[in-house]
Every structure is written in structure tokens, then in C-alpha cells.
Structure 1
């Protein structure tokens, strides 16, 4: 047995997105070294103001689904593994990991000298506590399905954690790299962390004014080689993206990430530097298969056939993107032409409605977020207009970002116009939604024995070709049953003023490279 002492808890420290390469799959051992650490050119110090359109709806990483919350929390908390700039899985709080020959044991060696922001030491007790709590259904962690293969977690000494698995899980190292799998102190609670975050990341919370700003300060005890150059970061809430551009012109904001291509063009015209980055995230019309008429496959297929995806892309995002199937990760990418009605077919849509006994039409109540991303309302209006021609009425309910997230997580909708974050590994993208035991299956209302088998098979092998073939079948199963209608992938546009150097945009939308950013 072993133990360690801790300092007092609850002290708030007030100190001083390129196309992704395919994800690295872990075989018997991890990379021997840390991720390549980009370095910022120019000076150090200074404060950066980032313009954002919404306030984070939570400060608890295990429940964060809103993009703005994730972007803040990934700079406060650490994970066992991380992604590098090309989305390869690399060491984080764990320096290495090793898989047993039978694939049923995964052993992590933890990093020395890491502390939480309250000054207490990080060790294996915190890892065991965190993974056990994420798995616990009562926690309602949004990524708990990523640990479905983990039967138990051991902490034999302070620097070693052993995960025992029910079956080999090739996706697990990648799945552990997202902030929803953040390692928390075993002495902290959800209630305390929603007020005072206590992480191991490069920054700490300094101040928050709800609906106005959230300010981070540099964590001088951060363990990484890429120690933050900035003294602090203020996330300033400015609800309109065009107003953020104006604030950048006046020098009040130095960095912002836009999803509206028209705003990006305005920023370029204002002589700001704009980096255009293809994203793994995807726009979709999500249908809840447990609600009303959508429980009928024929109704869902009618919706699928009645939509011209390119028209949605052209109308909402000025054609800045690509029509997509379910899987957007480059190593496993779906072919969007391999689906029922790869192009719009109103005759086929009418045929499907007739089979469902709904020849006179259907009405689908649809939630839409206003504020979390810029194209949502335009997408919804175009979808409504297209579907009306097929006697499918989208009854739109436009919600503030926080209210939308609450309804979405609860599965309290018939349909939802959504932008979902993508991941390098398809298991992390979809097993929590489309397996019978997935913790977010209530959001989709759809699973099948075939999908359960396919997702299990996809984790059981590390062979890249075998996994690609398996996830091609996953994609076909999803398209043929139309639980969601995948529309398009698009870009983020990172705008910076001339003072900002060293920030690296990522294809998963992460702002983790704020830790390498400098302001001259």
C-alpha cells in the first residue's frame, strides 16, 4: 500500500486547426518520446484576447459538449494521452503505455513532477479515481462509452496504472486524449470544479464574469516542455462574429476562430491574417429514431432522399466545404456516394413516405442552436425549404446555445440541426451514439446488433486495413438506416492580428496550441 499527502483544496490561483494525417494506432507499445513541440517565434509574455460568441456552459470537463467549453477546458486540464498537430496519439500525463500480448491489459507509466493547479501532487490514485468515475453511470460523463472495454483499473504504485480490458481495444489510447477524459484530483468534486477548476494543464482559471469573459493565467508549474509564453488569455464573449472582426480591427481582440466564410472574407479584407483549416467536425440533421414518425425507417429514408446536401453547403457556407458521409477521419473516410439517394430524388422520397403510410406528409419538430456556430439557422432554413417540397415539414425551434445543449444531451428532440465534433478514430466518434450500450444512444434513438458487432470488431484489431474495412461497413449501416442525415464538412478560419505568433490550428478544432502562442 502507498499514500501521499495533499495540500488544502479549493484555492483559486490568481497567478501573475491543415488536413489531418491519419491517426497513429497503438500496437504493443507507445511512442518512446513526447509529441513534437512547436515553438512560437517572437517574444514571450503579454496577454491574448480571444473573441468567442458564447460563454462556456460548464467548467466540468467530463460533461462538456459545447465547443466553447471544450476549447477553454482543454487549456486547463490534462489527459493521459494527447494529440499532436497532425492528430497522432502521443504521450500526455502518461509518458508511455504498453499493451499485453493478448491485448487485454494496458499499462501506463505516469509522468513525474506533475501537480494540480492547487499545488497538490498528481499520481496514479487520481487516474484510477477519474477513470472509475467516468465509467460510473451516475456520473453521466459524455465519453463513458470510450471505457466500455475497461473492466477494472489498478494503481499498483504512484507512477503505474493498469487497465484490464474485456477485449482488445485499439481505439482506447486515442479516445483517452480528449478533454472529456481529463484526469481530475481524487479529492475534487463536480460541484467544486464547476466553480474552481483544478487541472494539470498549461493555464489556470483567474477570473470569470458570466456572459462577458473568462480569463486564464499561465500555470508556471506546468509539466510540459512547451511551457506557455502568454501571461494570460481572456476569452471575451462577443455574440456576433462580424463584431469580433471589428474588435480585432480596433485592437481589442487578437485572435478568433470563425466558421462563417463570409466573416472570414471580411477579416481578410480588414488585413487580418486568416488561416483556413479543414475540419473533422460534420454538419448533420440528426433524427431521433425513438420519436414519433421517425421510428419508421421509411420516413427517415424519405428525409434523406429529399435533401440536396450540396445546396445546403452552398446556401449556408458559400460552398466552403465538402459533402460527407458519417466518418470524416482521413484514414477511415466514408464515401458519400455510397448511400441511398446520393443525389436528391423527390420521387424516391414520396415512395418512401407512401410505404410509411404518410403520403400526405409529416411534421418533424426540430431544434436549432443559435450562437454555438454561425451557419446553423441558415442550414435549418434551407433544409426546411427543401423538405417542404417533399411534404416534410420541419417545425423549427431556435434555442440559445446552453438550452440547445441541455435538450440535445437529454435526447429531448425529434430532430436537431447539429455540428458535431469529429475524432481521428471512428470508435471515439460514434460508438457512444450507435451501440446499444452507448451512453449517448438516447440522442440518436438508434442501434442494431450488427452495429454492436462491427464496433466491437473495430476495436479488436490494430491492423489498419482490417479496421478500414470494418468501419466502411459501419458507414454503410448508418447510411442505409438514416438515423442521421450527414450533410457536409467545412472549415474553421483562424484570424489573428499581426502581434500574434506561434498558434497552430488543428483539424479537430482544438485550441491546445494557445500554449505555444506569443504576443509581441
Structure 2
């Protein structure tokens, strides 16, 4: 099975994520085209949606938002709240419990040390982290034990779900990025182009501003996922060409961000090979 869908302005991985499959990799290869080509696989060094979404196939946050804007645990065991004791009553701290048994794609254990390291990495004043606003007001991040992380804020923070939440604030592996702190961050080409992750795929080859090839992560936490054994993530061209590649020629299974006139999209859809889907989210391009 392959998905023939063209999505405008929504999360790519949400559109291609299978609901349930009996065997990892059973659906072969999926071909994705982004006419705005990814240039890096480290969201902390890029503010571009194209890079964030490409990286989301490999590295993950503790929690993500689903298509309805509801937070869903990924690496966290649950969503901390005041009611369950995860958020302090004075709203100055949030304590995350990590799901047990998680592994990085290299087979090593995922722990709170990786979460703390990610915060240290992004909050380093010499690192130029593009997502540093996610850690605004944070005074400390502590690894209380292997599966517990406490984030403390300088003042009451009614919405403490900035750090480690969403595709722009994923967790990177401390061991891989240990020598990439501060001013050295952009020098770590191998780590920035092929991060070790907890997500469903691993990077086989990354050609900046061109193409990414990925394969199923053998250590992914769900033995039945991902459904696809391979991903071809092509970048470049323009919105029109990307739309035609899905809905007219069928060369690709999924295209993103088709900022085209409705009549142009309708004409493409008439070829019968794909379906346009408008995904509404919180991002504001302009007012």
C-alpha cells in the first residue's frame, strides 16, 4: 500500500503514519517530495519547517501534538499536569517521566541524561540554537534518575510545555553530540546530517538541498512499525512540479506545502492519482 496524498501546510509524518501493521517494513518504500529541500537534520540549527519535518522522521521530542492540537506522549510516559503531580502547584516546575525501555537507533538506552544534555546544548549561549525560545525562562534542567527529568522556571509558567515538546524541540543523543557544544555545534557535520534517533527511521544518506534516503529503525519501540521499509525524501523544484509528481504522474506518494491556486490543484486532482488535503495548524505566515 502506498499513500497518494498531497498535503498543504500540515505535518508530513502525521499524513504518512500507518494506523496498524503486522510487520515492520511490509509496505516497501514511500516517496516524499518537498519542493523546499531540507538542508540539515538538526532542528536546533534551523528554523525551517522543511528541516524540522525531515528530522522528525529520525529524532523525537517527549511529546508531540496530533492533528487536533492535543498533546500525545512519544518518549514520555504521560503528560505532566498539576492534577497528576507532574506540574508543581506554584507552576514553577514540570517533571517528566520517560517511558521505560526506549532505545536509540544504535541500540543504546535512552535516558534522562540525553534530555538534560539537549537542554544544555540548546541553552549554550555560544551555540546559536534556533529553538532557544523553547527554553525561555528555564533556570535548570535536572536528571533526577534515569527516567525522570525536572525543568524549573524562574517564575510561574502556566504553560510549561515548551522544552522537549513538538518537532522543534526533539531530544538529541548526548553521546553523539558531546563534542558539538557551543560554537562547535555547526562543525559537527556527521551528527547534524545523520543524527542517531529514537524515531521510526534512520538516515542512510543525506545530500543537503537534494535528497535523503532513510530505512526503518531496527530498534524502534513498536516492532510492527514503521510500515515502510524505506523512505526517499526528495527536495527541490517548485510547488507546481511537486503537485504534478503526486497527482498527475504518480512518481511520488506525498508532497507538501502546495501554495497553488485552487483551480490549479483541482486540475491536477482530475488526473485521478492523488487527493489534496488542507491541513490547518497554528502557524502564521503573515498578517
Q: Does 1:76 align with 2:58?
A: yes
The alignment's C-alpha RMSD in Å is: 2.7
**CA 1:201/1:136 → structure 2, altered by over 3 Å: closer, same or farther?**
same
Q: Does 1:126 align with 2:114?
A: yes
**CA 1:165/1:67 → structure 2, altered by over 3 Å: closer, same or farther?**
closer
Distance 1:202 1:56 in 2: 18
Match of 1:110 among 95, 98, 102: 98
Q: Does 1:135 align with 2:137?
A: no
Determine the structure 1 residue equivalent to 2:235.
Answer: 237
- What are the equivalent positions in structure 2 for 1:71-470 lying under 5 Å apart? 71-96=53-78, 97=80, 98-173=86-161, 176-189=164-177, 190=185, 191=188, 192-224=190-222, 227-248=225-246, 249-257=248-256, 258-262=258-262, 263-271=264-272, 272-284=274-286
The structure whose RCO (Cα within 8 Å, separation 6+) is larger is 2
Q: Contact 2:66 / 2:72 at 8 angstroms: preserved in 1?
A: yes
Q: Contact 2:38 / 2:235 at 8 angstroms: preserved in 1?
A: no
Q: Contact 1:19 / 1:277 at 8 angstroms: preserved in 2?
A: yes
Q: Which runs of 4+ in 1 moved over 4 A?
A: 17-20, 40-43
Distance 2:117 2:163 in 1: 18
Q: Give TM-score scaled by structure 2 length.
A: 0.79
- What are the equivalent positions in structure 2 for 1:468-479 lying under 5 Å apart? none
Distance 2:135 2:223 in 1: 29
Q: Contact 1:135 / 1:147 at 8 angstroms: preserved in 2?
A: yes
Deviation of the 1:279 alpha carbon: 3.7
Q: Give TM-score scaled by structure 1 length.
A: 0.45
**CA 1:94/1:85 → structure 2, altered by over 3 Å: closer, same or farther?**
same
Distance 1:183 1:279 in 2: 23
SS at match of 1:194: helix
**CA 1:214/1:80 → structure 2, altered by over 3 Å: closer, same or farther?**
same
SS at match of 1:54: coil
Determine the structure 2 residue equivalent to 1:421.
Answer: none
Q: Contact 2:134 / 2:162 at 8 angstroms: preserved in 1?
A: no
Q: Contact 1:89 / 1:173 at 8 angstroms: preserved in 2?
A: no
Distance 1:179 1:19 in 2: 14
**CA 1:229/1:140 → structure 2, altered by over 3 Å: closer, same or farther?**
same
Residues 167-214 of structure 1: CA distance to partner in whole angstroms, max 9, x if unpaired? 222322255322231111112234031232111111111123344311
State the number of aligned residues: 253
Distance 2:162 2:222 in 1: 19
Distance 2:93 2:128 in 1: 25
SS at match of 1:90: strand
Residues 264-300 of structure 1: CA distance to partner in whole angstroms, max 9, x if unpaired? 223212222121223432232xxxxxxxxxxxxxxxx
Deviation of the 1:254 alpha carbon: 1.5
**CA 1:84/1:175 → structure 2, altered by over 3 Å: closer, same or farther?**
farther
Larger radius of gyration: 1
Deviation of the 1:66 alpha carbon: 1.7
SS at match of 1:187: helix
Determine the structure 1 residue equivalent to 2:43.
Answer: 61
**CA 1:161/1:278 → structure 2, altered by over 3 Å: closer, same or farther?**
closer
